[in-house]
Amino acid sequence: MNKKWILIISIIILVVLLAVGFIWFKNNGPIKDTSLKEDGIGKLTIGMDEEHIRHYYPEFAISHGKNNNIYYYNDEDSFIVTTKNKKIVCIELRNEVPDQKLTTKKNITLGSSLKEVEKAYGKNYRKKSTERYGNVIEFQDSKTNQKLVFGIFDNKVNVIIFYDYEKFEYQF
């Protein structure tokens, strides 16, 4: 093989590696912080004691896991709260809950528009495509180790996930 072909193949490999690196960095690299301190869903916030779940939402069922407890409304497909060491580490709102107006502290709820989210939280987010929820946008607060994720379908919020990324590894 002559030197010309080796050079061409080397350039192609370099371009592919750069493209893969760029895509990885875009999905995993740092994003500017958005303050999520004292934010949450409904009356719950990340880091709150587990006992507050029963106080604010007595109708929740509980599933005891090996390393955590999962509280949920009606079934495990609407409003789910995960605790670890008796502290809330993840709050998910997937479907509306009857007789509850569940929003973030900045009034974003299921059905809110992407523009409303950007007005409330800004544009310092990462766009991701996930297997479980499709397209999502992710805000991060590195001071509190929290991420706030909004699933977006037809420019409307269809899921809200709020979690402590140091204590809980969310599976998208």
Residue-wise pLDDT for 117-166, tens only, equals 999 999 999 998 889 999 999 999 999 999 999 999 999 999 999 999 99
pLDDT of 82 over the 70 cut: yes
Token pair belonging to 61: 């069922």
Spatial distance between the Cα atoms of 62 and 15, rounded to a whole number of angstroms? 51
* Contact present, 68 and 84 (Cβ < 8 Å): yes
Q: What distance in Å separates the CA atoms of residue 56 and residue 71, rounded to the nearest whole number?
A: 12
Place of tokens 């893969």: 20
Write down the pTM of the prediction: 0.82
At 11-41, the pLDDT tens digits run 898 999 888 877 776 666 667 889 999 899 9
Q: 3-class SS at 57?
A: coil
Is the domain 31-164 a CATH 2.60.460 member? yes
Backbone angles phi, psi at 147, to 5 degrees: -125, 140
Residues ≥6 apart with Cβ < 8 Å to 164: 46, 47, 89, 90, 144, 145, 146
> Which residues are CB-contacts of 87 (< 8 A; sequence separation ≥ 6)?
47, 48, 49, 50, 167
List 64's β-bridge partners, or say none.
69
